Structure 1
Amino acid sequence: MKRKIIITAAIFGALAVIAGAFGAHGLQGLLTPKYLDVWHTAVQYQFYHVFALLFLAIIVKENNKAVNACYCLFTLGIIFFSGSLYLLSCIKLLGWDWLIFMGPITPIGGLLFIAGWIVLAITAFRNKIN
């Protein structure tokens, strides 16, 4: 479990660095300031939840259902929240107006993040982190 969490965090961390650099250098001048800000928000939240995953790897000692739930919620949150924002920020650049359907997926990712944090808090409150 710990190894899986660390590998996932490392992959998402590397992708966040790449996305951040690409947004700062590759998309400068191609996206409006509004869409660059959307891109930046995606990178920020991806990094926040990479750190959350790394924290999970530190606290898990054995297969724990609650920690596994947090892992799944944070991972899916990154994919839904940050992934949809990356795509939405590039709609005009790609010419893929059909991507507008991704708009409602962003809040689902946010809800997954919130659920992950709530599960983590409840688990810690019940002292079930071992």
Structure 2
Amino acid sequence: MNKTIFSTGIFFGVLAVLLGAFGAHGLEKLIDSDAILTYETGIRYQMYHALFLLILANTRFLPEQHKKLVFYLIVLGMVLFSFSIYFLATNALTDFDFKKIALLTPLGGTLLIFGWLVLGYKVFKSKPSLPL
């Protein structure tokens, strides 16, 4: 599971860099500055959580089932949160009104919060053993 978590962190990190470059160089003339800032928020949170996954994969004091739960919460939250923001920020470029799926953003954010809370709870409740 650690390899899967680490690989997923790498994937989302690379994707954040690619989407960030696309936003900085490909979207700057297509959407307004407020939409660019919104898009950058999605990139930032995606990168934060990609790095989070790299760290999670290397923690040795959490049982695998706890890591797996945190992993699923973070990945699903990251996809719902960041990708809904990307779609909302680029809404003006498509015929589909992405405002119809705007509720995915807070749902994704809630899952990210739960992922952090579950991690904190499991760490707090775990018996001291190996450091990170």
Q: TM-score, normalised by structure 1?
A: 0.93
Residue 17 of structure 2 corresponds to 17
Residue 30 of structure 1 corresponds to 30
Secondary structure of the corresponding residue to residue 28 of structure 2:
coil
Tell me how far apart the structure 1 counterparts of residues 56 and 22 of structure 2 sit (CA, whole Å): 28
Q: Which amino acid aligns with 2:105?
A: T
Q: CA deviation at 1:95?
A: 2.7
Secondary structure of the corresponding residue to residue 59 of structure 1:
coil
Q: CA deviation at 1:25?
A: 0.4
Amino-acid identity (%): 37
Q: Is 1:45 the equivalent of 2:45?
A: yes
Q: CA deviation at 1:65?
A: 1.4
Q: How many equivalent residue pairs?
A: 129
- Mapping for residues 1-130 of structure 1, pairs under 5 Å: 1-60=1-60, 64-97=64-97, 99-127=98-126
Secondary structure of the corresponding residue to residue 30 of structure 1:
coil
Tell me how far apart the structure 2 counterparts of residues 68 and 60 of structure 1 sit (CA, whole Å): 13
Uncovered stretches (5+) of structure 1, i.e. residues with no partner: none
Q: Over aligned residue pairs, what C-alpha RMSD do you find? A: 1.6
Q: TM-score, normalised by structure 2?
A: 0.91
Q: Write out per-residue CA displacement over residues 27-64 of structure 1, whole angstroms, 9 at most, x where no aligned residue.
A: 01111111101100000000010111111111047862
Contact 2:62–2:123 at 8 Å: present in 1 too? Answer: no
Q: Write out per-residue CA displacement over residues 81-115 of structure 1, whole angstroms, 9 at most, x where no aligned residue.
A: 00100111111112322x21221000000000000
Which structure is higher in helix share? Answer: 1
Q: Which amino acid aligns with 1:78?
A: M
Q: CA deviation at 1:71?
A: 0.3
